Every structure is written in structure tokens, then in C-alpha cells.
Amino acid sequence: MREEIVEAALAQFHERGFNAAAVKDITDRAGVPKGSFYNHFESKEALAIVALQRYGEGLRLADLANAEGEPVARIRASFEFLCDAVVANEFTRGCLFGNFGTEIIDHSESIRAAVQQGLGLWAELLGGAIADGQKAGNIRAELDPDQAARFLIGAWEGALIQARAEKSSEPFEIFFKLTFDSLLKV
């Protein structure tokens, strides 16, 4: 039952946002009684933190650390995976880290910390892939890997907002062109 609630919450939060996803909406979607929610979660915020963790696991960020693949290809594949998910959902869902980051983090310290942790892990893994690319001579050596990773995540989140507003892949095309043809290129 806990698993059904988490999956339903992830979908509701991703589709509707934190504030618009009521506990009853989540339990209805999960097909469980509303009262059972509190047997598994202390609050909607506690469930949101679990949903954020589950969302992060679904991003396949660990692929960035796969030493078997060429670093630039790993980075590109990671962003292509994210792009494909947005396009498949017809530009109706963003990044849950970014969505919660704009909607709720000023009002919930625990959710702010979970968003920070998720973005931090993403930046750490992306920075590692950038450093790997520098060692291989495929990414500009003068870039600070950690700063470049944080910049790329910010640029991605901005491109994502634009793509959703425009219902267009053009912002992603610009992101890929500037990232891989200019910023990272040796």
C-alpha cells in the first residue's frame, strides 16, 4: 500500500504540483482509503520528500558515473533522456526538483533540503562526468567541473521552463547546441 501511495503521489505532484495535489487525490489515485495514508506517512510533506527521492532515482543520474561510456556521450545521453521525457508528456511536466523549487521551498524547510539534496547529487554526478571528459581531453580543461555542472543544470531548468511555455523543443535544441558545440567543446 505504501508503494501505491508513493507512485500516486509522484504522479500527482508531477502533474499538478505540491499545493494542488491533495492527500485525497493521491489516495484516490492509489486506490487506497484516505485514512491509510497516515499509517505510512506523517504528512504530505513527508510523502513529498519520498516522491522527490523516487523522482531522482528515475532520472538515471547514475549513468553519468558509468566509466564504461565516453564522458561527453554520457552527458548528452543524460540530457537527451530528460528531453525525451518532457516531449513524451507533451511539455506538461517539468523537473520535479525545479517545480518544487519554485513552488514550495520557501514554505517548507524539509522540502527545500530535499530539493537541494537532489540537485546536489545531480551536480556531483554531472561534475564527475565533466571531469572525466577533461581527463580524456574531450572537454575544455579550463572549466571548473563543479561550476560547469551547476551552470548546466541551471541552463537546463531554464530551457525546460521555456520549452513548457512555448510547447516547443526549440529551447532544448538551443541548450544542446550551445552546451555541446561551444561550452564543453575542446
99 and 46 together in one domain: no
- What's the confidence (pLDDT) of residue 67? 84
100 and 122 together in one domain: yes
Number of domains in the chain: 2
pTM over 0.85: yes
Q: And the C-alpha cell for 175?
A: 541548450
140 and 107 together in one domain: yes
86 and 31 together in one domain: no
The pLDDT > 70 percentage for the chain reads 100
The average pLDDT across 20-24 equals 95
User: Is the CB of residue 101 less than 8 Å from the CB of residue 158?
Assistant: no
CA-derived radius of gyration, the chain:
18
Number of Cβ within a 10 Å radius of residue 138: 17
- What's the confidence (pLDDT) of residue 92? 94
| Distances 95 to 136, 148, 171, 172 between C-alpha atoms, Å | 30, 19, 15, 14
Distance between CA atoms of 90 and 99, rounded to whole angstroms?
Answer: 16
Q: If you average pLDDT over every residue of the chain, what do you get?
A: 96
Measured between alpha carbons, how far apart are the two ends of the chain, in Å? 51
114 and 177 together in one domain: yes
- Residue 101 belongs to domain spanning: 60-183
- What's the confidence (pLDDT) of residue 35? 87
Distance between CA atoms of 126 and 56, rounded to whole angstroms?
Answer: 14
42 and 65 together in one domain: no
| Distances 148 to 30, 54, 101, 134 between C-alpha atoms, Å | 40, 25, 20, 12
43 and 76 together in one domain: no
Q: What CATH code is carried by the domain that includes residue 43?
A: 1.10.10.60
| Per-residue pLDDT tens over the stretch 128-177 | 999 999 999 999 999 999 999 999 999 999 999 999 999 999 999 999 99
Q: What CATH code is carried by the domain that includes residue 149?
A: 1.10.357.10
